[in-house]
Amino acid sequence: MWHDDGRSFCEFGGVDRHDLHAGHSGSELTPIGSASTLVAVTIIHKNDFAMSFGRFVKLAIPFAALQIVLATVYVLLVLR
């Protein structure tokens, strides 16, 4: 997000962009970690799939790991 004077939101607010990245990483690991996982749990429930908290976490690990890797690459290469 950019402001009229050309500064990014991170620069304008005095927030380090690496802190923003670290605060969001891995939130998809649990059913209550983000809005997208709450939608997934709703779909699971509406379709009568039996899934425990542990199974959800186990299935989410590869996706969360991919998200963390891609976000880290983005921060290191694009937001330098």
Tokens linked to 24 = 């969001």
2 found inside a domain: no
Q: Which domain holds residue 72?
A: 9-77
pTM, two decimals, is: 0.59
**Within a domain: residue 32?**
yes
- What whole-number distance in Å separates Cα of residue 33 and Cα of residue 47? 21
What domain count does the chain have? Answer: 1
The answer as to whether 24 is a domain residue is yes
In-domain check, residue 1:
no
- pLDDT tens digits for 28-80? 778 888 888 888 889 999 999 888 989 988 988 998 888 888 888 888 888 77
Q: Cα separation of 69 and 75, whole Å?
A: 10
> Residue 4: inside a domain, yes or no?
no
Q: Is residue 73 part of a domain?
A: yes
Residue 67 covered by a domain: yes
